[in-house]
Amino acid sequence: MDLAIGIDIGGTKTKIGLVDQQGECHEHMFFRTQEFENLDDFLDKIKNSIEELKGRLKFPVNCIGCGIGAPNASSRKGTIENAANLKWKGSVPLLEKLKERLNMPMRLMNDASAAALGELVFGNAKGMSDFIVLTLGTGLGAGIVANGKLIEGLDGFAGELGHVSMTLGDGRLTGLGVRGGLEAYVSATGLKRTIVYMQSKYMDPSRFRDIAMNDLHGEDITKAAEEGDPIALKAFDYTADILALAMANFTAFSQPEAFFLMGGLLNSGKWIMEPLEKYFEKYLLEVYKGKVKILTSGMDGKNAAICGAAALIWEVQ
Amino acid sequence: MDLAIGIDIGGTKTKIGLVDQQGECHEHMFFRTQEFENLDDFLDKIKNSIEELKGRLKFPVNCIGCGIGAPNASSRKGTIENAANLKWKGSVPLLEKLKERLNMPMRLMNDASAAALGELVFGNAKGMSDFIVLTLGTGLGAGIVANGKLIEGLDGFAGELGHVSMTLGDGRLTGLGVRGGLEAYVSATGLKRTIVYMQSKYMDPSRFRDIAMNDLHGEDITKAAEEGDPIALKAFDYTADILALAMANFTAFSQPEAFFLMGGLLNSGKWIMEPLEKYFEKYLLEVYKGKVKILTSGMDGKNAAICGAAALIWEVQ
DSSP states of B20-45 as a string?
A: -TTS-EEEEEEEEGGG--SHHHHHHH
Query: Using a CB-CB distance cutoff of 8 angstroms, which residues of chain B are in contact with residue A167?
Result: 166-169
Query: Using a CB-CB distance cutoff of 8 angstroms, which residues of chain A are in contact with residue B151?
Result: 130, 146-147, 253-255
The pLDDT value given to residue B121: 92
Contact B254 A144 (CB under 8 A): yes
Q: How far is CA A134 from the centre of its chain?
A: 6
The pLDDT value given to residue A300: 63
Please determine, for residue A298, whether its predicted confidence score (pLDDT) is greater than 80: no
Tell whether B110 and B255 lie within a shared domain: no
The pLDDT value given to residue A297: 82
CA-to-CA dists, residue A266 to A33, A110, A197, A296, A309, angstroms: 21, 20, 21, 9, 20
The pLDDT value given to residue B213: 96
Helix, strand, coil shares, percent, chain B, to 5? 45, 25, 35
Contact A252 B164 (CB under 8 A): yes
The pLDDT value given to residue B185: 98
Please determine, for residue A84, whether its predicted confidence score (pLDDT) is greater than 80: no
Percent of chain B with pLDDT over 70: 99
Query: Using a CB-CB distance cutoff of 8 angstroms, which residues of chain A are in contact with residue B82?
Result: 286-287
Confidence of residue B263 (pLDDT cuts 50, 70, 90): confident
Please determine, for residue A234, whether its predicted confidence score (pLDDT) is greater than 70: yes
Q: Which tens digits make up the pLDDT trace of A199-228?
A: 999 999 999 999 999 999 999 999 999 999
Tell whether B106 and B136 lie within a shared domain: no
Tell whether B239 and B265 lie within a shared domain: yes
Confidence of residue A102 (pLDDT cuts 50, 70, 90): very high
Query: Using a CB-CB distance cutoff of 8 angstroms, which residues of chain B are in contact with residue A154?
Result: 130, 255-257, 291-292
Q: How far is A245 from chain B (nearest CA, A)?
A: 8
Contact B158 A255 (CB under 8 A): yes
Tell whether A30 and A48 lie within a shared domain: yes
What DSSP element (H or E) covers A28? strand A25-32
Residue A145 belongs to domain spanning: 131-296
Handedness of CA B40, B41, B46, B51 (dihedral sign): positive
Tell whether B173 and B84 lie within a shared domain: no
Tell whether B154 and B291 lie within a shared domain: yes
Cross-strand pairs, B68: B7, B108
Q: How far is A54 from chain B (nearest CA, A)?
A: 37
| Nearest alpha carbon to residue A203 among A182, A181, A230 | A230
CATH of the domain at A260: 3.30.420.40
Tell whether B51 and B199 lie within a shared domain: no
Confidence of residue A33 (pLDDT cuts 50, 70, 90): very high
Q: Is B301 helix (H, G, I), strand (E, B) or coil?
A: helix
Confidence of residue A4 (pLDDT cuts 50, 70, 90): very high
Tell whether A78 and A154 lie within a shared domain: no
The pLDDT value given to residue B301: 65
**DSSP at B138:** S
Q: Is B16 helix (H, G, I), strand (E, B) or coil?
A: strand
Q: Which tens digits make up the pLDDT trace of A251-296?
A: 999 999 999 998 889 999 999 999 999 999 999 999 999 999 999 8
Give the whole-angstrom CA distance, residue B227 versus residue B244. Answer: 25
Please determine, for residue B189, whether its predicted confidence score (pLDDT) is greater than 90: yes
ipTM of the prediction? 0.89
- Number of domains, chain B: 2
pTM: 0.90
Contact B82 A286 (CB under 8 A): yes
Q: Which residue of B81, B157, B242 is in closest CB contact with A255?
A: B157
Mean of per-residue pLDDT scores for chain A: 94
Q: What are phi and psi of B50, to 5 degrees?
A: -65, -45
Tell whether B139 and B276 lie within a shared domain: yes
Q: How far is A116 from chain B (nearest CA, A)?
A: 14
Please determine, for residue B269, whether its predicted confidence score (pLDDT) is greater than 90: yes
Please determine, for residue B302, whether its predicted confidence score (pLDDT) is greater than 90: no
Whether the CB-CB separation of A167 and A182 falls below 8 Å is answered with no
Please determine, for residue A193, whether its predicted confidence score (pLDDT) is greater than 80: yes
Confidence of residue A301 (pLDDT cuts 50, 70, 90): low
The pLDDT value given to residue A317: 79
**A255, A279, A280, best to mutate vs chain B, most B CBs in 10 Å:** A255
Tell whether B164 and B55 lie within a shared domain: no
Q: What is the dihedral of CA A197, A202, A205, A206, to 10 degrees?
A: -20
Q: How far is A304 from chain B (nearest CA, A)?
A: 23
The pLDDT value given to residue A305: 86
Whether the CB-CB separation of A18 and A54 falls below 8 Å is answered with yes
Give the whole-angstrom CA distance, residue A260 versus residue A133. Answer: 5
Q: Which residue of B151, B163, B167 is in closest CB contact with A254?
A: B151
Tell whether A137 and A284 lie within a shared domain: yes
Tell whether A281 and A166 lie within a shared domain: yes
| Nearest alpha carbon to residue B76 among A112, A222, A129, A280 | A129
CA-to-CA dists, residue A159 to A132, B12, B191, B313, angstroms: 9, 35, 30, 32
Query: Using a CB-CB distance cutoff of 8 angstroms, which residues of chain B are in contact with residue A283?
Result: 165
CA-to-CA dists, residue B277 to A193, B243, B298, angstroms: 33, 10, 19
Please determine, for residue B162, whether its predicted confidence score (pLDDT) is greater than 70: yes
Mean per-residue pLDDT for B154-164?
93
Confidence of residue B300 (pLDDT cuts 50, 70, 90): low
Q: Which tens digits make up the pLDDT trace of B197-206?
A: 999 999 999 9
**B254, B257, B280, B284, best to mutate vs chain A, most A CBs in 10 Å:** B254
Give the whole-angstrom CA distance, residue A304 versus residue A137. Answer: 13
Contact A255 B168 (CB under 8 A): no
Q: Which tens digits make up the pLDDT trace of B63-94?
A: 999 999 998 898 888 999 888 778 898 899 99
Q: How far is A241 from chain B (nearest CA, A)?
A: 10
In B, minimum Cα distance to A249 occurs at B164
